[in-house]
Homo-oligomer: A and B are copies of this chain.
Amino acid sequence: MQANSSPDTAHIHIDLGERSYPIVIGSGLLGSSLTYQDIPKAAAALVVSNTTVAPLYAAQLTEALRHRYGKVLLVTLPDGEVHKDWPTLQLIFDALLENGCDRKTVLFALGGGVVGDMTGFAAASYMRGVPFVQVPTTLLAQVDSSVGGKTAINHPLGKNMIGAFYQPLQVVCDLDALATLPSRELSAGLAEIIKYGPIADMEFFDWIEANLEDLLAREPAAMAHAIRRSCEIKAWVVSQDERESGLRAILNFGHTFGHAIESGLGYGEWLHGEGVGCGMVMAAHLSERLGLVDKLFVERLTRLALRAGLPVRAPVLSASDNAGRYLELMRIDKKSEAGEIRFVVIDGPGKAVVRSAPDALVRGVIDLCCA
C-alpha cells in the first residue's frame, strides 16, 4: 500500500474513526523520507528529543524531514521522568513561539515515553491543537505510548495528572533504534509486553516464555512480533474505549502498585516499566488472595518477570507504616473513585477485571512483596 513498505515492514491500523492512524514497525524507517510521505507538508516541523536520544538520531530524522518543511527545528529536553513537568514542557512552547510556528506546524516526538507524553501534550495544547508524529526509540514507548493517545505531564502530587487524550498522525517504530537501548530499559519495555499475556492472550504469554532469550538479544524478527502483537491487543482495547470509561482500564494491570512505587521512591528512581513489572507480580498475588487465580499462575508470572530482568520484590516506602503509605499513594491514582482504589486483577489467566479489595487483603500483599 505504501511505497516505503519493505517486506519486513509491518503496518497496524489504529481504528478511531476520524482520529485513526497507522503504526509502522520495521528497520531503517526513522531516517527515510519515504516514511513520512503521508504527513501533511507545512512551513515548519519541530523535532522534540532529549539529551540522550538527540545525539544518536536527531540528525537522521531532521534530514529525512528537510525536503517537506521550510524549516526543521529541534528542541532538546533534559532526559528523565523527573523533567516531565511544566517548566520543561514550556521549552517546547517557547521554541514554537520564538520561531513563529503556526497551527499547521507538525511536532515529531523522538525519544522514549517521557518525550512522547510531553510532545503529545504540547501538540494537544499549542494553539489548542497541532498535528504530531510519534517516533518512539525505546521498547516501552514502542509498545505502550505509541497506542492510545494518552499524553501528560506529572504534578508534584501525582504522575500523569495533567494531560489530554490526543492521537498522533502516525507512529514510527524503528527496530534499529533498540540497538542503543540500555539493557535496564529493554527489561522495562518487556514488562509492558509481558502484561498482555495475563490480561488478554495467554498464547502470546507462551510465545514470550519460549522466545525470551531472542527478545533479550534484540533479535529483530522476535522483537517485531512482540511489538506488533502488543500494539494489536492495545489497539483492540483502545478502539473499544478511547477515553477510559471502562474496558481500557485493564491496560493498567500492574500500574496501581507500580505508580505507588514510582511515586513513593520519587520519579526516576525506578523506571516506569520496572514499577509495572513488580506491580504485576503484586497484582497477581492480590488476584490469588481474591480467589481468582491459583498459586502456579503467580509463580509463572514471577518467574518470567525475573528472567526478563525485572524487579519482583517491592521497595519499602515507609519505615513506620509501609502498607499504609502504599495505600495512601494508591488512593490518589486516577482510577480511584471517591477514595476507593480500583485494582486491575486477573480473573483467570488471559482475562482482567477492575475491582476494589479490602484494605486488609491489600496490606497482606504489600507485606508479602516487600518482605
Contact = CB atoms under 8 A, between A and B. Distances in A.
Interface stretch (A159-167, A188-196, A352-360): A159-167
Interface stretch (A58-66, A132-140, A336-344): A336-344
A155 B338 contact: no
Interface in A81-132: 86, 90, 93-94, 97-98, 100, 102-104, 124-129
A47 interface: no
A339 B70 CA distance: 12
Interface residues of A, number: 38
A158 interface: yes
Contact of A126 (B43, B129, B162): B162
A331 B98 CA distance: 12
Nearest to A243: B129
A161 B93 contact: yes
Given A125-B164, A129-B164, A103 B334 contact: yes
A152 interface: yes
A128 B164 contact: yes
Nearest to A165: B128
A126 B125 CA distance: 13
A371 interface: no
A164 B164 contact: yes
A157 B97 contact: yes
The 10 residue pairs across chains A and B that have the minimum distance between CB atoms = A97-B157, A43-B338, A127-B334, A128-B163, A125-B162, A102-B337, A128-B165, A102-B336, A93-B155, A128-B164
